[in-house]
Amino acid sequence: MITLRNFSLQRGTKQLFHDVNITLHVGQKVGFIGANGSGKSTLFALLRGELQPDEGDVSFPPRLVIAHVLQESPTVSKSAIEYVLDGDQELRDIEAQLMIAQQAEDGILEANCHAKFESVDGYTARTRAAQLMHGLGFLVSEDEKPVKEFSGGWRMRLNLARAMMCRSDLLLLDEPTNHLDLDAVLWFEQWLKRYSGTLLLISHDRDFLDNVVDTIAHLTHKTINLYTGNYEGFERQRAAQLALQQAAYQKQQREVAHIQSFIDRFRYKASKAKQAQSRINALARMETIAPAHVDSPFHFSFQPPLRMPNHLINLEEVSVGYSQEAVIENITVRIEPGSRIGLLGANGAGKSTFIKLLAGLLAPIQGTCILGEGVKIGYFAQHQVEQLHDDESPLQHLQRIDAQTKEQVFRNFLGGFNFFGDAPIAPFSGGEKARLALALLIWQRPNILLLDEPTNHLDLEMRLALTLALQDYTGALIIVSHDRHLLRTTTDSLLLVSQKRVTSFEGDLADYRQWLLEERTVQAKPAVVQSRSEKAAQRELRRALQNRLKTVEKKLDTLSTEKSTIETLLSDPSLYNDKDTLQKYIRQQVTVSKELAETEELWLDITEALE
């Protein structure tokens, strides 16, 4: 168990936590959520031993192996796969001991080292490292490529693979999906579901949280509140709490008004003075209930485009790429007013290239690209964030693109994005800069929006505000995103970029997951000629396995929730005074844990059969 007792922590002049008491159990998968600045990353630094609490204490099980993702981008010359293998420190230590034994020609020590090597699955380590890399999107040909030759984003993927390679008891992940595409996120989810240790995860991707965690830790008002279940369950519980709090607040306000009315009328009348004074004392003793409120500070919307042409963008047999080498060929796509399109495809397939073509940043190698008269394109990508001016305030950034509008109108608009004051943006976080880049884009009132991973570094509240604003946006919309909730709730058609083509994808994101699985199966195995009856039988078998998998996943969710509930009950010290009830809960825990292990084994068998 990981326990925080009477825990308080301050950073600079800001107190992040005060008198926190929580217990996290072995095997829990906990999603940490809260506004930017609430202390999520600071808490992880504390768990890694980089900080100490100001008050209280933090206790861990002995000999706990902790894995986390390095934040710096390595520039080493060693091969990518060797760098990933370095994540298993025990394996590397045994390899070093084995080398010493061989050089010393010490047969007994060498035999012991080989036994240890086998016990840590050393003979399969290289295969496991390669599987992690390929699941995260690396090509087989890149296994031996030097780490320093990868871009910063791909190096962060190597850091993630390295943390996953560690045979850890506790895995700390801080926004792990920021550098992943949707394909890698879908694979990573399945890996995390099979992870047997304790997982603590900071994420602003609600679908990712829903599919991975069994507990939500909400950081708010200097404390941490635990909620059993995934993010969707947290939202329901939180809404119910807020409703109760608001009802209690309103009831108390009526009571306060009634008492105050009596005091105002009779406090100076001698015959009623004592009664008035008793009511004054009652008001003073009353524990004030705060009004319930929604934490999100973001409130904004897209203004309607100033003009909406009948025709936006028409591509006819277009090829596009770099240095006259085509990345995508024979594109025939028409973007009409009201189009709401999500782009799917593996990293490197050409999604960003296609977006740059639409934005006018890349010219066609061949074919025709026709823009309608009056088209105004709004394009968001990471390089817009990097081109902001660190020495200027958000207000000055707006004044750069619009010198006519009054300053107060700008300030009101920026307030919806939680920007106030005139300080330069140099100390802004990545999320704050992304928020500002979006604000600048929205101000210009485009009639077609091209968004390339717009939610990277945005917190849950800002993602929700952006989703709601995009739902009401009246222009055309094209999005590349690994945030499935954003894609699902703001687009109504999908395009697939694959094998140098852009084609309509008939289906939803669940169908895309299945398509990915089938593609990986085809790539992993040699082509086999099948008869129609064999294909039909295979489809029928797959359908049966998928239905069975859904049933097993529901059972896993139920058993996980039941196990978490029992463990919460067992963590109550007062329970140990009632031996009969204690024994009952322990028996239930043993039974549920055994059934959960058996169900997880069944889930693995079905998944392997499908693959």
Res 576: pLDDT: 67
CA dist 232 and 83 (Å) reads 37
For the whole model, what pTM was predicted? Answer: 0.71
DSSP-derived pairing of the beta strands 493-498 and 340-344: parallel
Question: CA 611, CA 608: separation in Å to the nearest integer?
Answer: 5
Other beta carbons less than 10 A from residue 494's beta carbon? 19
pLDDT under 50 in the chain at which residues? 292, 527-528
| Helices and strands of the chain, counted as H and E runs | 20, 18
What is the second-level CATH architecture of the domain 313-521? Answer: 3-Layer(aba) Sandwich (3.40)
For strands 366-371 and 313-322, give the pairing: antiparallel
CA angle at 66 for the pair 60 and 67, rounded to the nearest 5°: 155
Question: What is the pLDDT at residue 549?
Answer: 84
Spell out the domain ranges in the chain: 66-168, 235-285, 313-521, 532-610
CA 383/CA 453 separation, integer angstroms? 11
pLDDT of 528 reads 47
Place of tokens 């894995």: 67
Between CA 481 and CA 239 the distance in angstroms is 28
Yes or no: say if 499 and 471 are a contact pair by the CB < 8 Å rule. no
* CA Rg value for the chain: 29
Residue 20, classed as helix, strand or coil, is: strand
pLDDT score for 3: 93
60 class by beta-carbon count within 10 Å (0-12 exposed, 13-18 middle, 19+ buried): middle
Fold category of 532-610 in CATH: Helix Hairpins (1.10.287)
Distances (CA, A) of 438 to 380, 431, 435, 441: 7, 11, 5, 5
Name the nearest CA neighbour of 153 among 175, 189, 178, 187: 178
Helix, strand, coil percent values for the chain (each to nearest 5): 50, 20, 30
According to DSSP, residue 48 is labeled T
Nearest to 50 by CA among 28, 37, 66: 66
Strands 29-33 and 215-220: parallel
